[in-house]
Amino acid sequence: MAVLTEAPAPVRAPATAPRRRVTTPRWWRDAVGAATWASMLVVVALWVAGGGLQAMGTAGGALTSLGRITGLVAADLLLVQVLLMARIPVVERSYGQDELARRHRLVGFWSFSLMLGHLVLIAAGYAVTAGINPIVQFWEMVVDYPGMLLATAGTALIVMVALTSLRRARRKLRYESWHLLHLYAYLGVGLAIPHMLWTGQEFLASPVATAYWWTLWTAAAGSILVWRVGVPLVRSLVHDVRVERVVREGPDVVSVVMSGRGLDRLPMAAGQFMNWRFLSGPGWTRAHPYSLSAAPTDTTLRVTVKDLGDGSHALASVRPGARVLFEGPYGRLHAGGRTRRGVTLVASGIGISPLRALLEDLDQRPGEVTLLYRARSEADLVLRGEIERLAARTGARVYYLVGRRIAGRHSWLPEAAAHLSDEQALLALVPDIAAHDVFVCGATGWMDAVEKAALAAGVPAANIHTERFSW
């Protein structure tokens, strides 16, 4: 079997008409990051203004005061964490799903660590001041202080979420189970509110502090209600999306074609993904992220999904006419991120879904777009017929990289190309790739290998566009 198989040469190659574009000014990314740091500076300033430094004159006072500032910063970061994943459009488009998830985990790590530090320091500070055992002091705080029992329950939930979010733990859980457990973080945050408002002196120390914290809490809660609940529900009802048909693309791959009304009013583009709920039986309450596998039209949407779990397995049996609820669109893997005329699309497995849609949607002249499609076998080349028809129409170049992975080597190439380095193979296929935008979608480890090869071939990091769906 050939390692690199090129699709048939184009029959004709007219320029395609530009479609809708979803763009966000680059400075928004910096603005969001600056706002995060500014929020922590405000918290520290309020702590200083409330006498945080003056309270450190004794050992007990120092421990207690440090416990308060760690608790305040932990609470601030916890709310930032909620806002990062609230699907606020400008934030989501500025960072993209994979970068937001990375920042969400980073902020969550620091918030969790500071929260544990807060508990230890506060208990130790009160114990030193009162001259009693820290464990006894902690128990008295839990049972006697207003809101502390609720806060302890909330902390336990957040600890559970943090532990199940560790990479090793995530690998042992089904996506559906992990997602359900992760939702308890919202309950944990809610249970902590009474303690912060009833016993946290920094929350009530001044009108400015009170206004700041109430504003932050309201923004976090409001964002969740608006962007995770309200907007998706309204859009789903207004556009009345329903399953039109289910098409078997392979032994374990299906496409779901959906129809609706006024879909042209949705701010979506080929290559983006949505969180879908198909109201066709048990499990409909759990949303699943699937990318559009064809450019959206005014009346239809399509996703192509591989059987990788309970949610994707159930799609094969979804009946036509079933109502569909959706959140989104999300993601930056679309033509709006393009900065150059030359584009290379690199897909592996079911990662072809968004890139097939992008191949259709890109404004291109003959030879400007190249698709590299990696699969284990010829039978695994999903949507091959559609891809070749698109190549014939647009003049795009398509190469299939078929075969088993290279044993003992972290590579994006099949084993028959083991005599080439990852960089050499990429340059052999696309000699001018350094002047291209590169869009990559596939398994996380495979994407890392492609990204490393692209960087080595001279592609600037800013011109490599990825979307990771690992959880």
Q: Are residues 289 and 364 in the same domain?
A: no
Q: Are residues 177 and 111 in the same domain?
A: yes
> Residue 87 pLDDT > 90, yes or no?
no
> Residue 3 pLDDT > 50, yes or no?
no
Rounded mean pLDDT, 261-281: 89
| 115 falls within a domain | yes
Q: Are residues 370 and 454 in the same domain?
A: yes
pLDDT at residue 17, rounded to an integer: 40
| 73 falls within a domain | yes
Q: What is the CATH number of the domain that holds 195?
A: 1.20.120
Q: What is the CATH number of the domain that holds 361?
A: 3.40.50.80
The model's confidence at residue 130, banded by pLDDT at 50, 70 and 90, is confident
| 471 falls within a domain | no
Q: Would you state the structure tokens that stand for residue 144, as one six-digit string?
A: 């006697």
Rounded mean pLDDT, 339-351: 94
Q: Are residues 89 and 183 in the same domain?
A: yes
Report the chain's mean pLDDT, rounded to a whole number. Answer: 84
DSSP labels for 63-77? HHHHHHHHHHHHHHH
| 423 falls within a domain | yes
Q: Are residues 274 and 393 in the same domain?
A: no
Give the amino acid at 22.
V
> Residue 1 pLDDT > 60, yes or no?
no
pLDDT at residue 15, rounded to an integer: 36
End residue of a domain, out of 330, 354, 374: 330
Q: Are residues 9 and 31 in the same domain?
A: no
Q: What is the pLDDT of residues 153-211, one digit of tens each?
A: 877 877 777 777 766 666 666 666 666 677 767 777 777 776 766 666 666 667 888 88
User: CB-based burial of residue 426 (10 Å sphere; 0-12 exposed, 13-18 middle, 19+ buried)?
Assistant: buried
pLDDT at residue 364, rounded to an integer: 93
End residue of a domain, out of 235, 267, 284: 235
pLDDT at residue 454, rounded to an integer: 96
Q: At what angle do helices 207-223 and 59-84 cross, to 10 degrees?
A: 30
Q: Are residues 224 and 267 in the same domain?
A: no
User: Which residues fall within 8 angstroms of residue 17, CB to CB, at 6 or more apart?
Assistant: 363
| 111 falls within a domain | yes
Q: Look-up: residue for tokens 């072809």?
A: 352
Q: Are residues 161 and 213 in the same domain?
A: yes
Rounded mean pLDDT, 399-427: 92
Domain span at 264: 240-330
Distances (CA, A) of 314 to 91, 248, 319, 323: 32, 13, 10, 15
Worst-scoring range by mean pLDDT, 45-54, 135-144, 201-210, 334-343? 201-210
Q: Are residues 171 and 251 in the same domain?
A: no
Kind and range of the H or E run holding 194: helix 184-199
Rounded mean pLDDT, 91-108: 80
Q: Are residues 13 and 47 in the same domain?
A: no
pLDDT at residue 173, rounded to an integer: 66
The model's confidence at residue 257, banded by pLDDT at 50, 70 and 90, is very high
> Residue 88 pLDDT > 60, yes or no?
yes
Distances (CA, A) of 143 to 136, 137, 146, 148: 11, 10, 8, 7
pLDDT at residue 18, rounded to an integer: 42
End residue of a domain, out of 235, 264, 287: 235
Q: Are residues 185 and 314 in the same domain?
A: no
| 457 falls within a domain | yes
Q: Which residues pair with 306 in a beta bridge?
A: 253
Closest CA to 5 of 416, 394, 434: 416
Rounded mean pLDDT, 306-335: 83
> Residue 429 pLDDT > 90, yes or no?
yes
| 202 falls within a domain | yes
The percent of residues above 70 in pLDDT, for the chain, comes to: 87
Worst-scoring range by mean pLDDT, 10-14, 120-124, 387-391? 10-14
Q: What is the CATH number of the domain that holds 289?
A: 2.40.30.10
> Residue 13 pLDDT > 50, yes or no?
no
Q: What angle do CA 256, 259, 260 make, to 5 degrees?
A: 140
Q: Would you state the structure tokens that stand for residue 182, as one six-digit string?
A: 């992760």
Number of folded domains that form the chain: 3
User: Which residues fall within 8 angstroms of residue 445, CB to CB, at 6 or more apart?
Assistant: 410
What is the distance between the alpha carbons of residues 370 and 345, in angstroms, rounded to a whole number?
6
Closest CA to 102 of 450, 454, 469: 469
Q: Are residues 307 and 360 in the same domain?
A: no
